[in-house]
A and B are shown apart, each in its own frame.
Chain A
Amino acid sequence: MLHIEHFSKSYPGHKRAVDDLSLHVAPGEIFGFIGHNGAGKTTTLRAVAGVMDFTEGTITIDGHNVRTDALAAKKVTAFLPDNPDLYEFLTGIQFLNFIADLYEISGDTRQNLIAKYGDAFQLTGNLGSPIGSYSHGMKQKLALISALIRQPKLLILDEPFVGLDPSAAHLLKQFWAELCAAGSAVFFSTHVLEVAEKLCHRVAIIKQGKLIRMGNTAELVGDSTLEDVFLELEGDGHG
């Protein structure tokens, strides 16, 4: 589903944020991307989502090159940044309709999907209010609903569990499982290693822009925990 080949990114006047990263995410897979603050996770996710320009390497989503066939790649993708700022002058339903229009989702389909996810996250009753009046958690739920109604083939999320209440986090995991059962994939970054260990089929650990370990979660962790593995790799001078 997602192929990243030799992706590098430098910011003007700074050293490389990401250096020669290659990884693949298969359909039906939940893939965790782990690393310290500033390791290059967000840079990678933003490049995959087509939000950030890059010149080195190739990224393809469902066979569409993110640079040369950007619109087709974006059409099958849903991206949520770590702190999704939404249009506060729109009401929740206006925002969802806006997203549905951009992704050309038919009226009936959007109605069913908004009802499904809105009810599940207990947000349907609030959809008539301006987003500016929402709490942080409500905004995050609305952003998640806007991503899920696109029925993306690749769901890209930056720290998705920050700010979510336990029941919403539980629901989110259920919906990921649904998406993966339908052949989609989830690619997300997190600092919560317990979540990554429980949820992810595979994980990649990135340090100072370089991939230092990647593999099947169960094999990578073995008898230890992901936290132990992560701390060990961070401490032994990899990268």
Chain B
Amino acid sequence: MAKFLALLKLNFRALLSAIRVGRKKRSFSGIGALALLAGLSLYISGVYSSLLAGQLAAVGALPLLLVLMSLVAVLLGFFFSLFAAQGVVYGAKDNDLMLSLPISPFTLMLSRTLALYLENLVSTVFVLLPAGVIYLWYGGPGGWAVLPLLLVSALFLNLLPTLLTLIIGFVLAWLSGRFSRKALASTLLQLLLLALILVGSFWLSSSINNVETAVPAILSFFQGWGRPFLLLAEGVSGGNLLQLAALWALCLVPFLVVVWLLAWQYKAIITRLSTHRTRSDYKLGKLSSSGQLGALLRKEARRWFGTPSYVFNTGIGLLLLPGAGVAALIYRESIAQFLEMAGGLALAPLLLAGVTFCLSTVAITGSSISLEGKQLWLLQCAPVPVTTILGMKVAFQLLVILPCLAVGWLMLCLAFALAPAEWVLLLVDGLLFALMCAPFGLWINLHFPKLDAVNDAVVVKQSASAMLSTFLPMVLVLLLFLLWFFLLEPLGSVGLLLVYAVILAAAAVLSFLALVRQGPALFRSLEEK
């Protein structure tokens, strides 16, 4: 038991350490990481629960709030820990060390799985608890017993996202060990998952807007595959312990079966996953030189395209931009009708908010230094100026963004029938935002590098730099959106876009200056962190 607890502690720490940077100053503790996870879950739950509760209460279907929010809890837990399962349970770098210790593979697997479970539990509890409070606030049946019953049920419900991440993590790890185009296969699978999650969230959003007509459809879904969520809501709101016991069994039994199966074969699985085949039939052909800039740029591209979690976490905005443009063109007539009804509502600044929001998710440079990791020495001893190394990282992000921005911009302008001046300013503002984000992300990453991460996924998904380089530009987007409320009337659409251009140009210049002035020294000092 002592061994198991020691392993559990070690693996839980490994999960949380992803967000920690530095040794003394600027360091986030494991508690800080958990607090961030809890805060994000609380925010999402608070927003969705309060939006849903009012409408569900109006049609007398308030217990559905618990059904929907328990689904959100499972999806959120799944989303948070998907890459952790791949890295920590199957692809951990300490597998050889751990398997050489006098610990059974079963114990090792179980400790890693439980560490994952504990991480998930934070998000599950902080989604369900606010939902329960809001449910009671709107007068949902069940009284205050709802909250303790929800908490106990959360312990069981949380087994579902852990189970899903274990299975998907295994498939991803298996794919990455088997296919010659493993990065592509893994990226496609992850994009498929993302599409499913997006469809789910669109469905949830449309349900929020049209609860009355959606209630029967929601109920029919939850009578089938969504049965555990319905059991939770009915058991908690009615105090029905039999239904709750059924829910607990539905969560616990498949979890134990899968964990037992995987743990039983754990050593064989990770041995197979860590086995690589190297071809030995390469023939050296004619080689040509392409210069330092090309070499650095190609290296950045190969890292990005060759690291599925990197593409997945920083490429969604790239898909959303042209995707939104295509959708806008398809619904062009509806948009025209809406604009006619809205009586000349200036939408160009709002479109810019949408475009810049998408761009802020493409924080490739925010993980670029961290991903150099233990290979940093290659760049540090290369006869290339640091400014060139940093410049190529910025250039790569811009090269990836600009085509998507151009396509999205063109289609949005056509669909929304913008004025010529708005066309130009929307593009200029979008470009300036992109020019601000790329060096800013790199500057943040130089300040908060994570060079010793257990795998690439935790760097791009959970590191402080990845989060800051994504969320801080989003704060700027929010500020631009707020300006829309106050300045649209006095300035008009074109005037407001001009104000945005000035603000974004200043932000871009500041971020370039910060990188140019501090970047080289920060890069040189990385070795000593």
> Are B277 and A86 in touch, CB under 8 angstroms?
no
A118 to B282, CA, bound (A): 11
Q: Are B377 and A71 in contact (CB under 8 A)?
A: no
Interface residue B420 (Cβ < 8 Å from any Cβ of A)? no
Report how far A110 CA is from B290 CA in the complex, Å.
12
Residues of B within 8 Å of A110, CB to CB, are 287, 289
Decide: B381 and A49 in contact? CB cutoff 8 A: yes
Pick out which of these stretches binds chain B: A96-104, A174-182, A188-196. Answer: A96-104
Whether A201 is near chain B, meaning CB under 8 Å from some CB there, is no
A133 to B295, CA, bound (A): 22
A-chain residues with CB within 8 Å of residue B382 when the two chains form the complex: 74, 102-103
Cβ-based interface call for A18 (8 A): no
Q: Does A126 lie within 8 Å of B299, measured CB to CB? A: no
Interface flag for A12 (CB, 8 Å): yes
**Which B residues lie within 8 Å of A107 (CB)?**
286-289
| A-contact 0/1 string along B306-332, CB 8 Å cutoff | 110000000000000000000000000
Task: Kindly identify, within residues 333 to 379 of chain B, every residue whose CB is under 8 Å from any CB belonging to chain A.
Answer: 373-375, 377-378
Identify which of residues 258-298 in chain B touch chain A, using a CB-to-CB cut-off of 8 Å: 276-282, 284, 286-292, 294-296, 298
Docked complex: A78-135 residues within 8 A CB-CB of B: 79, 81, 84-87, 89-90, 92-94, 97-107, 110-111, 114-115, 118, 124-129, 132-135
- Whether A104 lies near B291 (C-beta < 8 A) is yes
Contact A97 B276 (CB under 8 A): no
A46 interface residue per 8 A CB criterion: yes
- Tell me, rounded to whole Å, the shortest Cβ–Cβ distance linking B335 to chain A: 42
Assess the B276–A85 pair: CB atoms within 8 A.
Answer: no
Say yes or no: is A23 at the interface (Cβ < 8 Å to chain B): no
Q: Is the CB of B528 within 8 A of A12?
A: yes
| Distance of A120 from chain B, by nearest CB (Å) | 13
Q: Kindly provide the distance from the CB of A233 to the nearest chain B CB, expressed in whole angstroms.
A: 30
B385 at the A interface (CB under 8 A): yes
Q: Which of B183, B279, B286, B290 contacts A126 (CB 8 A)?
A: B279
A124-156 to B contact mask, C-beta < 8 Å, 1/0: 111111001111001000000000000000000
B524 at the interface (CB under 8 A from A): yes
B61: Cβ under 8 A from any A Cβ:
no
Which of A26-34, A50-58, A213-221 contacts the other chain?
Answer: A50-58
Minimum distance in angstroms from A65 CB to a CB of chain B: 14
Known: A111-B284, A114-B284, A125-B281. A50 touches B381 (CB 8 A): yes
Query: A16: CB under 8 A from chain B?
Result: no
Interface residues on B, range: 35 or more
Q: How far is the CB of B98 from chain A (nearest CB, A)?
A: 19
Residue of chain A at shortest CB distance from B288: A107
Assembled-state Cα–Cα distance A198/B384 (Å): 36
Encode contact with A along B374-410: 1 for CB under 8 Å, 0 otherwise. 1101101111110000000000000000000000000
Which chain A residue lies CB-closest to B298? Answer: A98
Residues of B with C-beta under 8 A to A133: 276-278
| B525 in contact (CB, < 8 A) | yes
Task: Using CB atoms, name the residue of chain A closest to B375.
Answer: A85
A93 to B279, CA, bound (A): 13
B302 within 8 A of A: yes
In angstroms, Cα B429 to Cα A27, docked, is 58
In angstroms, Cα B286 to Cα A12, docked, is 49
Q: Are A71 and B287 in contact (CB under 8 A)?
A: no
CA distance A103 to B292 in the complex (A): 8
- Say whether B212 faces chain A, with CB atoms less than 8 Å apart: no
Take A89-B303, A111-B284, A133-B276 as given contacts and tell me if A81 and B377 are in contact as well, using a CB distance cutoff of 8 Å: yes
Contact across chains for A51 and B377 when beta carbons are under 8 A apart: yes
Alpha-carbon separation in the docked complex, A90 to B380 (Å): 18
Known contacts A127-B282, A132-B276; decide if A74 and B381 are in contact (CB<8 Å): yes
Partner pick for B384 among A12, A102, A114, CB 8 A cutoff: A102
- Cα distance A81–B380 when bound, in Å? 12
- Is B527's beta carbon under 8 Å from chain A? yes
* Residue from the list A53, A72, A132 in contact with B524, Cβ < 8 A: A53
Residue A77 CB within 8 A of the other chain: yes
Residue among B292, B383, B385, B527 facing the most chain A CB atoms (10 A cut-off)? B383
**Are A98 and B383 interface neighbours, CB within 8 A?**
no
In whole Å, how far is B172's beta carbon from the nearest beta carbon of chain A?
15
Which of A92, A100, A111, A129 lies at the interface centre, i.e. has the most chain B CB atoms within 10 A of its CB?
Answer: A129
- Tell me the complex Cα distance, A92–B284, Å: 11
Q: Which of B16-35 contact A (CB under 8 A)?
A: none
For A11, A46, A92, A125, the residue with the greatest tally of chain B CB atoms inside 10 Å of its CB is A125
Q: Which residue of B lies closest to A115 (CB)?
A: B284
Contact of B383 among A71, A114, A118, A129 (CB under 8 A): A71
Q: How many angstroms from the CA of A146 to the CA of B298 in the assembled complex?
A: 18
Cβ-closest chain A residue relative to B285: A111
CB distance from B522 to the nearest CB of A (A): 11
Please give 11 more A-B residue pairs, beta carbons under 8 A apart, in addition to A79-B377, A89-B307, A129-B278. Answer: A51-B377, A71-B383, A74-B383, A79-B381, A86-B375, A97-B290, A98-B295, A102-B296, A111-B284, A125-B280, A128-B282
9 interchain pairs (CB within 8 A)?
Answer: A72-B383, A93-B282, A93-B284, A101-B289, A103-B382, A104-B289, A115-B284, A125-B282, A128-B279
Residues of B within 8 A of A (CB): 183, 276-282, 284, 286-292, 294-296, 298-299, 302-303, 306-307, 373-375, 377-378, 380-385, 524-525, 527-528
Closest 6 CB pairs of A and B: A101-B295, A128-B282, A89-B306, A133-B276, A85-B374, A125-B280
